[in-house]
Structure 1
Amino acid sequence: MAPAELSIALFWSPTPGELRERQLTLPDGSTVRDALTASAWFDPAQIAALSVGIWGRGAPLDTPLRGQDRVEVYRPLTVDPKEARRQRFQAAGSRIVTRHRPLGRKA
């Protein structure tokens, strides 16, 4: 009987507008760290400092993987999200409201 294998998708955006995708086949019981090492995109010393997640939720490097998982490597933030919103507000000159309940009395 052959050992069980996992099919994993690994995504990384090294720069804005660029997206890399790699399909990996790993042995059952592999972790996020194993997937990053198998990708050959990262130096082993660099892996410990990466911010990663599975299906959009942050995950530690020792998280076991399941079949069809989507492992994502996140870039560090260059601007605080609150500051970015302030800058967009100043550029637009009006209030930015998306999917927001109308102002007024609460129902």
Structure 2
Amino acid sequence: MIAVEVSYAATPQAQQVVSLHLELGSTAEDAVSASGLLRMFPEISLGSVNQLGVFGKLARPEDVLHDGDRVEIYRPLLADPKEVRRRRAEEGKAMKKGGGPKAAA
């Protein structure tokens, strides 16, 4: 048996984390299914809308998990960060580190 966690941030303020014990050789998709998060959040659609990661690195549903792994279900991006930076540069606006408003000097 291996111990894993599955997390999903339904909103930026609310995150669900489920701890599980799974059979050795279980996949990321097995963990998501066993977590119950697909029933709690029907908007999750693996592959077409939501991607998976393990500790911040993209993972495929068929990737085999290891003891202690944390599977993360990612929400789709609302805006492409590269496109936002390009638009701001065209408008001549500067961004401070972290993407917030530019600080007054």
Q: Which has the higher strand share?
A: 2
Query: In 2, distance between residues paired with 1:95 and 1:11?
Result: 31
Deviations 1:50-70 (A, max 9, x none): 300001000000000000001
Number of positions where the alignment pairs a residue of Structure 1 with one of Structure 2: 92
* TM-score, structure 2 normalization: 0.72
Say which SS state the counterpart of residue 10 (structure 2) adopts: coil
Matched ranges for 1:74-89 at <5 A: 74-85=74-85
CA RMSD, 1 decimal: 2.7
Identity %: 34
Structure 1 unpaired stretches of 5+: 99-107
> Does the 8 Å CA contact 1:36/1:47 hold for their aligned counterparts?
no
Query: In 2, distance between residues paired with 1:80 and 1:8?
Result: 31
Structure 2 unpaired stretches of 5+: 99-105
* TM-score, structure 1 normalization: 0.71
Q: What corresponds to 1:46 in structure 2?
A: 45
Q: What corresponds to 2:2 in structure 1?
A: 6
- Comparing 35-44 with 64-73, greater Cα deviation is found at 35-44
